[in-house]
Amino acid sequence: MSRSAWAAAGVCATGRALPQSMHGSAMRTPARTPNLDPDTLARWVDALPMPQIARAVEHRAAPDGSGKQVPFYRVPMRATAAKAHRDLPPTNFWSYGGVVPGLQFETRSGEGLLVEWANELPKKHFLPIDHTLHGAEKELPEVRGVVHLHGGRTPAESDGYPEDWYASGESRTYYYPNRQDAALLWYHDHAMGINRLNIHAGLFGLFMVRDQAEDALGLPNGKYEIPLVLADRDFTPDGQMSYPVSPDPAAPWVPEQFGETHLANGKLFPYLDVEARRYRFRILNAANGRFYDLSLAGGGEMVQIGSDQGLLAAPVRLKSLMLAPGERADVVIDFAEHRGARIVLKSEPFELVQFRVSAQAANDSSSLPTTLRPVQRIAESTAVQTRRLTLDENLNKVAQSMGMLLNKTPWHAPITEKPVLDTTEIWEFVNLTDDVHPIHLHMVRFQILDRRRFDWFDYMNYGKLRFTGEPLPPEANEMGWKDTVRVNSHTVTRIIVPFAGYAGRYVWHCHILEHEDNEMMRPYEVVNS
Ligand code: C2O
Ligand code: CU
Ligand code: CU
């Protein structure tokens, strides 16, 4: 039986990565035990936890030859158990530092740091490995890990190349120079062929880079700045995570995972007591495959001030905010007009977090400036090269997904994308699939140029790219610096990328983790001129 036989079982018949609003419970993928019905869980009984901050253990010489001393951290990857909800027994997770989300790094632009990432995980995995996937063969150690700092301008040897995984009992020390603007980055596992399972198990955490330009704005800070890590999961009635499998035990990979409950900083249905004033939320979508379409029940407004790679040029008022896996948003919510109210952060049809606004008036000395940080749009004329790259779906004879590819090229084929360091390129993603794919490039930040629909039939049959509409500019909240871009079905999405930073071998991939693990990832190499 093929690994796509899950489709024949009549669930999620196309396996498309639709925004979750299009996934009802009828689309649930099969699980080994019946899942906990989220409606049986009491809502808003646990306080929203704040991620624990990582502490340096000592200072060491920076490996860049500068003679500078930089903080040195040691973070173990280890199994832990934590209560996701008051009424559930502790859930088994894998963690960075014993907490989920993992220990949160706090650093400043240009201030490098060293982390020893120690693999102290058990020797057996607790989620279903598919040994038929490339890079997850039976001969390899079952438990492998390697850490990638998503959004980090990191030298290649510290970037967490998927094949640089190491087994339990080993560790690696990585150097993060952090020569980049203030932004919410995140780190997560990137081990070849099992990274969807490792991240699902809990191997993700936040990495906050701050700078002076941001400090000067007077945005809400301290206890008025709330990190919010969202990730959907399914649970068994005894509180354990349940990851879906195909009907073929020899090939359990599924094309996507969508959970019916949602961890916010590791809790299900948490509440947060807030004062009647402005708060800044630093939001990450850490889900395997779910797109969050965030809104405030009651119709309140959110003001987005930053995206993946930092502040926008100016705030953008929003009724709803779409976040694909891997994307981040920096959002200000003003509760001043909502004294005494209960406001729920939702992603239809799901409720995620409840804000309980104090009945008292609060004084608020924070500000929300009308301009934030200049974002110089990059002229297309500066690009030295344009690459046209397709996103492809492999279908079998009965139109079931066998996995996705980038430019019809598997992972292990020789490197084809070799941009020259300190040059700018345009990458055009031609999405031939029916899915939205969030495409992420390591090491760089980029800008979105436009999205344009084309005739799929003409392309597939005659190889001709015939546009059927005008190029659409990015949304207002996509006009800043990005590292992950939503590439819509049957569109050409163009980005412009300055390859500034470091020469070396990196990767680009779809951030739907099931796709990434099954060949929707390619190496690329920044070369010296
Ligand atoms: Cu979140 Cu390869 O990245
Ligand atoms: Cu990344
Ligand atoms: Cu994808």
* pLDDT tens-digit readout, 118-170: 999 999 999 999 999 999 999 999 999 999 999 999 999 999 999 999 999 99
**Ligand 1 centroid to residue 278 C-alpha, Å:** 31
From the list 131, 200, 125, 201, the residue with the least C-alpha distance to 168 is 125
Predicted local confidence at residue 13, as pLDDT: 32
For residue 484, give the ligand 1 atom closest to its CA. Answer: 1
Write the DSSP symbol of residue 409: B
Say if residue 17's pLDDT is above 50. Answer: no
Q: Is the CB of 522 under 6 A from ligand 1?
A: no
Residue 11's pLDDT band (cuts 50, 70, 90): very low
**Ligand 1 centroid to residue 286 C-alpha, Å:** 10
> What are 237-241's contacts with CB under 8 Å, separation 24+?
237/33, 237/34, 237/36, 238/88, 238/89, 239/36, 239/83, 239/84, 239/85, 239/88, 239/89, 239/90, 239/91, 240/91, 240/92, 241/91, 241/92, 241/93, 241/127, 241/200, 241/201
* pLDDT tens-digit readout, 178-206: 999 999 999 999 999 999 999 999 999 99
Predicted local confidence at residue 397, as pLDDT: 63
**Ligand 1 centroid to residue 442 C-alpha, Å:** 7
Of the CA atoms within 13 Å of residue 314, those in its CB half-sphere come to 5
Predicted local confidence at residue 9, as pLDDT: 32
Predicted local confidence at residue 28, as pLDDT: 45
Q: Which ligand is nearest to the CA of 154?
A: 2
Residue 14's pLDDT band (cuts 50, 70, 90): very low
Q: Is the CB of 148 under 6 A from ligand 1?
A: yes
Name the pTM for this structure.
0.94
* pLDDT tens-digit readout, 420-461: 999 999 999 999 999 999 999 999 999 999 999 999 999 999
Q: Is the CB of 515 under 6 A from ligand 1?
A: no
Return the residue whose CA atom lies nearest to atom 3 of ligand 1: 150
What is the C-alpha separation between 465 and 309, in angstroms, rounded? 31
Cβ pair 313, 474 in contact under 8 A: no
Mean pLDDT within 83-94: 98
Q: Is the CB of 262 under 6 A from ligand 1?
A: no
* pLDDT tens-digit readout, 47-67: 999 999 999 999 999 999 889
For residue 516, give the ligand 1 atom closest to its CA. Answer: 2
Return the residue whose CA atom lies nearest to atom 1 of ligand 1: 150
Q: Is the CB of 190 under 6 A from ligand 1?
A: yes
* pLDDT tens-digit readout, 500-516: 999 999 999 999 999 99
Predicted local confidence at residue 7, as pLDDT: 34
Q: Is the CB of 196 under 6 A from ligand 1?
A: no
Residue 300's pLDDT band (cuts 50, 70, 90): confident
**Ligand 1 centroid to residue 511 C-alpha, Å:** 7
| Other CB atoms within 10 A of residue 506 CB | 24
